[in-house]
């Protein structure tokens, strides 16, 4: 049995990738889109939506309900300037996300509540009264 060794030339794709992803003037890599992780659970009386968004401030988070769509978004920009005798360097950064969720008809949109602690946004979506489980009811015969 003969084993053959095949060499592949991987330097060209790497070189091309570096040309388009690196900023050789000292900047940073291009901004990549980001969608935060979400856990959704259902109980008898409500839905719970937990979103992991560390590094955002409470005042920068927007939660809105438009008809049957819940939208959670945030956009934070920052800039840093460094001055020396030879040059001035400015860097800008942008952190943002936007997630939308279709709400079922069983959600009571008027009583939606949210809380943000430790980088986790918790949104409580209570169910309407008619959607809650009803206790057993005995029917008598006539």
Number of domains in the chain: 1
Indicate whether 39 pLDDT > 90.
yes
Instruction: State CA 83 to chain mean position distance.
Output: 35
Per DSSP (E only), the strands in 1-141 are 38-42, 46-52, 61-66, 69-83, 88-102, 113-117, 120-126
Could you read off the pLDDT of 82-109 as tens digits, one per residue? 777 777 777 777 888 999 999 998 899 9
pLDDT at 5: 44
The answer as to whether 2 is a domain residue is no
pLDDT at 18: 57
- Region at 119 (left for phi over 0; alpha for psi -120 to 50; beta for the rest): left
Residue with tokens 């008898």: 44
Indicate whether 7 pLDDT > 60.
no
pLDDT band at 4 (very low <50, low <70, confident <90, very high): very low
The answer as to whether 1 is a domain residue is no
The answer as to whether 57 is a domain residue is yes
- List the CATH number of the domain containing 43: 2.60.40.790
pLDDT at 3: 46
Q: Report how far residue 96's alpha carbon sits from residue 20's, in angstroms, rounded to the nearest whole number.
A: 22
């Amino acid at each position: 049995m003969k084993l053959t060794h095949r060499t592949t030339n991987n330097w060209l794709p790497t070189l091309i990738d570096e040309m388009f992803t690196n900023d050789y003037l000292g900047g940073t890599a291009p901004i990549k889109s980001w969608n935060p992780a979400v856990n959704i659970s259902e109980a008898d009386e409500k839905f719970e939506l937990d979103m992991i968004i560390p590094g955002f401030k409470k005042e920068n988070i927007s939660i809105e309900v438009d008809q049957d769509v819940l939208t959670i978004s945030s956009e934070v920009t920052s800039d840093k300037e460094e001055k020396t005798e030879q040059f001035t360097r400015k860097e800008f950064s942008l952190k943002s996300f936007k997630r939308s969720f279709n709400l079922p008809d069983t959600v009571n949109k008027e009583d939606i509540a949210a809380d943000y602690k430790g980088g986790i946004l918790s949104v409580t979506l209570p169910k309407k009264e008619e959607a809650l489980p009803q206790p057993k009811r005995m029917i008598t015969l006539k």
